[in-house]
Chain A
């Protein structure tokens, strides 16, 4: 059951990315291009995604367990720390340079597999790099 739900969630997510234009790196980069031909589409995507999710958080408050898992496993950290800030800044740089973040990159494996492959391989290499050489920030 959990595999069916996870697959359905991934399918909906990938469909939403493709339908909304977010699978096109140039469109995403155009959102970040304030001094160029700015494209606000990403604002609508974020707004549209936050609506059902905000309702889901309210429903979650009334559930003791999820529908198909023994319990909720959610991030509990509330501390604002340097790894969070440094990671977000590095991620934003890569997002701007390429126009890609993890979701659209993986969705593009079905739309433009050869074109996106260098990014996907480099992204996993970056993740592996972090596993062995995590920046120690105090």
Chain B
């Protein structure tokens, strides 16, 4: 626990982060590719024909919920709180889908793989999407939408 931030989970955050980094390292050193979820999801569904072989993308994308399921079973359940209305999910989903394709990546590809590679494009993208998120949530809070 961190004083002043009663909800923070620094130890689980760090250890979970290490698992995510190991996953990305396995993709890089094993298959020579970036573990970018938005790109692999687009490839797995056939929305794009560029990128990883289809079977690689499908296997990775199927692994995501299966890995989460294993943790949920081992720990007796994972809590996830969703917005009460469906609209934030629909509007958010459209923006995330369109934006990650236009910007060539999301939190995993730019944030984890690109930052650790010191890629200038990923550093700019990560700074922008985090800032954009700060402003968006700040505006939602100011407008009483949270």
B-binding residues in A (CB < 8 A): 2-27, 29-30, 32-57, 59-60, 63, 65-69, 71-75, 77-80, 83-103, 105-112, 115-116, 118-131, 134-135
A15-B67, A35-B141 known; A10-B59 Cβ under 8 A? yes
Contact among A13, A34, A101 for B23, CB-based, below 8 A:
A13
Which A-B residue pairs are the 7 nearest by beta carbons? A10-B63, A87-B103, A48-B17, A126-B97, A20-B16, A92-B132, A98-B92
Instruction: Please tell me if the beta carbons of A97 and B91 are within 8 angstroms of each other in the complex.
Output: yes
Instruction: Please tell me if the beta carbons of B67 and A98 are within 8 angstroms of each other in the complex.
Output: no
A133 and B62 CA atoms in complex are apart in Å by 28
Using a Cβ cutoff of 8 Å, how many contacts connect chains A and B?
Answer: 504
Give the residues in chain B near A44, CB-CB below 8 Å: 8-10, 13-14, 17
Instruction: Please tell me if the beta carbons of B124 and A84 are within 8 angstroms of each other in the complex.
Output: yes
15 extra interchain contacts, Cβ-Cβ under 8 A, other than A34-B138, A78-B120, A108-B68? A6-B52, A16-B20, A18-B16, A19-B75, A21-B16, A40-B10, A57-B117, A72-B33, A77-B104, A80-B124, A90-B99, A94-B93, A96-B92, A110-B69, A127-B42
Give the residues in chain B near A46, CB-CB below 8 Å: 17, 111-112, 115
CB distance from A45 to the nearest CB of B (A): 4
22 contacts between A and B (CB under 8 A): A5-B27, A9-B23, A14-B64, A16-B16, A16-B18, A18-B67, A32-B134, A33-B146, A39-B7, A48-B15, A53-B25, A96-B92, A103-B107, A105-B93, A105-B96, A110-B72, A111-B72, A119-B93, A119-B96, A123-B41, A124-B97, A129-B97
Q: Please report the total number of B residues contacting A with Cβ < 8 Å.
A: 112
